Amino acid sequence: MSDAQDRAFDELAPQYLLDVPRGIASTSVHADARMDPVAEYGRDARLFVEIGSGQGHAIISAAVSRPDDDFLAIEVFRAGLARTMLDADKVGVRNLRLVEANAPEILASYLPEGSASEVWIFFPDPWHKKRHTKRRLVRAGFGDAAARALEDGGLLRLATDWEDYALQMREVLDAEPEFERAFEGEWAERFDGRVMTAFERKGIAKGRDIRELLYRRKTRA
Ligand SMILES: C[S@@+](CC[C@H](N)C(=O)[O-])C[C@H]1O[C@@H](n2cnc3c(N)ncnc32)[C@H](O)[C@@H]1O
């Protein structure tokens, strides 16, 4: 990482980065650890969670435009976390926290059950080689973790420029008993709260279509 990125971790982490008890790996979360959103944000507000937030462009823009909501960025890429903290600090965002962790673990145990109003996953790594597709985040089992974290009626928003992954996302989530489609037709409309990131721009430049999906968490029995 650059000096600026090191500085972000030294100076801005106390304000932005959650101090998570770890499991075995450095990006794992101890199974007994639970986030206390009211303590972390200093208030009780709706919580929006982005998985694989990259450089933080989408979530910072959302946090700035919606000061009454709280935002959590989950990312394993340290340089991306540093960039997000530097940019968040530049614009003085207060309703954003970051966590350096493997996202499924945050959904499956660290977030309190039903605490998230929405979970976003925009342009996740496509792992396009056949032998690597099992590494994709949205695969069988992902729906359980997302459904646990979401409140009743909460939304799961997804976007990708990789057709085969879009089809996989839709197949996996259509099969999830806790979710129902919240879009008509083949794909969801573009989410107007999502700003264009470098990954989307690159996909478009390569002539790929952007596909979005929107699922609603069903009410718990
Ligand atoms: C292709 S990038 C997209 C970043 C961002 N969403 C955007 O649209 O610009 C995917 C991101 O997901 C992150 N990522 C991959 N696996 C992850 C995991 N298990 N937990 C958290 N983040 C992950 C990567 O580090 C990378 O920054």
Q: 54 CB less than 6 Å from ligand 1?
A: yes
Find the 189 Cα to ligand 1 centroid distance in Å: 22
The model's pTM = 0.97
pLDDT of residue 130: 83
Q: How confident is the model at residue 112 (pLDDT cuts 50, 70, 90)?
A: very high
Beta-carbon count within 10 A of 47 CB: 26
pLDDT of residue 49: 98
Find the 221 Cα to ligand 1 centroid distance in Å: 33
State yes or no: pLDDT of 1 exceeds 80. no
pLDDT of residue 127: 92
- Rounded distance, CA 200 to CA 190, Å? 12
pLDDT of residue 215: 98
Find the 145 Cα to ligand 1 centroid distance in Å: 17
- Rounded distance, CA 173 to CA 139, Å? 9
Q: 12 CB less than 6 Å from ligand 1?
A: no
Q: 203 CB less than 6 Å from ligand 1?
A: no
State yes or no: pLDDT of 25 exceeds 90. no
Q: How confident is the model at residue 5 (pLDDT cuts 50, 70, 90)?
A: confident
State yes or no: pLDDT of 64 exceeds 80. yes
- Structure tokens, 79: 């340089």
Q: 103 CB less than 6 Å from ligand 1?
A: yes
State yes or no: pLDDT of 56 exceeds 80. yes
- Ligand 1 atom closest to the CA of 121, numbered from 1: 6
Question: Tens of pLDDT along 114-162?
Answer: 999 999 999 999 998 888 888 999 999 999 999 999 999 999 999 999 9
Q: Which has the minimum average pLDDT: 22-31, 42-51, 52-61? A: 22-31
DSSP 102: -
In this structure, CATH architecture of domain 3-217: 3-Layer(aba) Sandwich (3.40)
- Average pLDDT (1-20) is 91
Question: Tens of pLDDT along 191-212?
Answer: 999 999 888 999 999 999 999 9
- Ligand 1 atom closest to the CA of 159, numbered from 1: 8
DSSP 132: G
pLDDT of residue 129: 87
Where along the chain do its domains lie? 3-217
Catalytic option among 89, 125, 144, 164 = 125
Q: 74 CB less than 6 Å from ligand 1?
A: yes
